[in-house]
């Protein structure tokens, strides 16, 4: 107990000494960043409060920020909407989970396979190929919707999970981030591994990928958010309602209604349900995400 007390005293003294070393400029910066962080959290606070508002609070003008009479009725209404339909909401959730897991794994895997040769293997046209990938970031999704529909229909994968996953497999921003990180891996390390008899696959899996873990975590976050919130594949490639995903269903809650009042509570609860998985994934990988943003542009 005495040793623990002494350690606490030493830690407090170290903390107090660190506080004393902070000058006025740093104090102003810390206060400013704290206020900015609190301001950026306001949409999250509003989203959580909005999901638990009763209908009369949802329709107030001007809208209230904090819920006064929280209720779970919005979530009950959301689950009750599909009780009278052929497809239950659990089916949409199941489809979203399957598609998100497969698409996220596919985007991370293909992105790393594409970035590795671009970074560590010089071949004719490599720079042009990487430039074409970067140019693809400029195209809006609507521009390539028709070509993707023709490809999916030609492959015969309409109304299948592959029809959900394959159009999302390519992630240009993932290739960019992974290549930038792989450029920082010393070539001498890979050459030493080759001298020791390591194959190309072993070098890629056991040396390169562990060194670019922060970038892999960031790509996982981006890929997850892309796949989880995607409703385009359900709209374009799925005619069978049993194969559609949760984002598509959420988009139909208030569409094609005679007024803008009905189902507002269910829509608010659905918005929170759609947001929570992305928030959880980000909180799990936030440190690696920040590390990627700090080092992706450094060579």
Are 168 and 227 in contact, with CB atoms under 8 Å apart? yes
Are 97 and 162 in contact, with CB atoms under 8 Å apart? no
In the prediction, which pLDDT does 62 show?
77
pLDDT digits (tens, 9 = 90+) for 136-158: 888 777 788 888 888 888 988 88
pLDDT digits (tens, 9 = 90+) for 7-54: 544 465 665 666 666 677 777 888 888 888 888 888 888 888 888 888
Q: Which two tokens mark 173?
A: 């921003």
Q: Which CATH superfamily is domain 80-295 in?
A: MetI-like (1.10.3720.10)
pLDDT class for 298, splitting at 50, 70, 90? Answer: very low
Residue 297 pLDDT > 70, yes or no? no
Report the chain's mean pLDDT, rounded to a whole number: 80
pLDDT digits (tens, 9 = 90+) for 265-294: 777 888 888 888 888 888 877 776 665 555
Residue of 44 and 257 predicted with greater confidence: 44
Are 272 and 51 in contact, with CB atoms under 8 Å apart? yes
Are 190 and 207 in contact, with CB atoms under 8 Å apart? yes
pLDDT class for 105, splitting at 50, 70, 90? Answer: very high
Listed in sequence order, the DSSP H helices in 126-171 are 126-135, 145-155, 161-165
Long-range pairs of 80-84 with CB within 8 A, sequence gap ≥ 24: 81/253, 81/263, 81/266
pLDDT class for 103, splitting at 50, 70, 90? Answer: very high
- Range with the poorest average pLDDT among 32-36, 128-132, 196-200, 262-266: 262-266
Reported as half-sphere exposure (CB side, CA atoms, 13 A), residue 50 has a value of: 20
Are 157 and 166 in contact, with CB atoms under 8 Å apart? yes
């Amino acid at each position: 107990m005495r040793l623990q007390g002494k350690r606490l005293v030493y830690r407090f003294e170290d903390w107090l000494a660190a506080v004393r070393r902070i000058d006025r400029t740093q104090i102003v910066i810390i206060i400013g960043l704290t206020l900015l962080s609190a301001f950026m959290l306001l949409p999250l606070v509003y989203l959580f409060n909005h999901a638990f508002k009763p209908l009369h609070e949802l329709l107030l003008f001007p809208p209230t920020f904090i819920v006064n009479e929280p209720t779970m009725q919005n979530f009950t209404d959301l689950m009750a909407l599909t009780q009278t339909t052929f497809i239950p909401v659990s089916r949409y959730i199941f489809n979203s989970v399957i598609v998100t897991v497969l698409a996220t794994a596919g985007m991370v895997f293909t992105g790393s396979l594409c970035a590795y040769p671009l970074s560590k293997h010089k071949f004719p046209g490599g720079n042009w190929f990487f430039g074409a990938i970067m140019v693809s970031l400029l195209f809006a999704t609507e521009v390539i919707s028709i070509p993707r529909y023709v490809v999916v229909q030609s492959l015969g994968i309409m109304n299948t999970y592959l029809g959900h996953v394959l159009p999302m497999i390519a992630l240009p921003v993932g290739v960019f981030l992974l290549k930038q990180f792989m450029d920082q891996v010393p070539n001498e390390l890979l050459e030493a591994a080759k001298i020791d008899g390591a194959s190309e696959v072993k070098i890629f899996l056991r040396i390169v990928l562990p060194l670019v873990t922060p970038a892999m975590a960031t790509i996982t976050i981006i890929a997850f958010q892309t796949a989880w919130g995607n409703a385009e594949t359900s709209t374009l490639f799925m005619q069978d309602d049993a194969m559609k995903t949760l984002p598509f269903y959420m988009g139909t809650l208030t569409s094609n209604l005679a007024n803008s009042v009905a189902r507002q509570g269910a829509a608010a609860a659905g918005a929170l349900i759609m947001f929570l998985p992305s928030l959880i994934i980000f909180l799990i990988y936030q440190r690696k995400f920040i590390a990627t943003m700090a080092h992706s542009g450094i060579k």
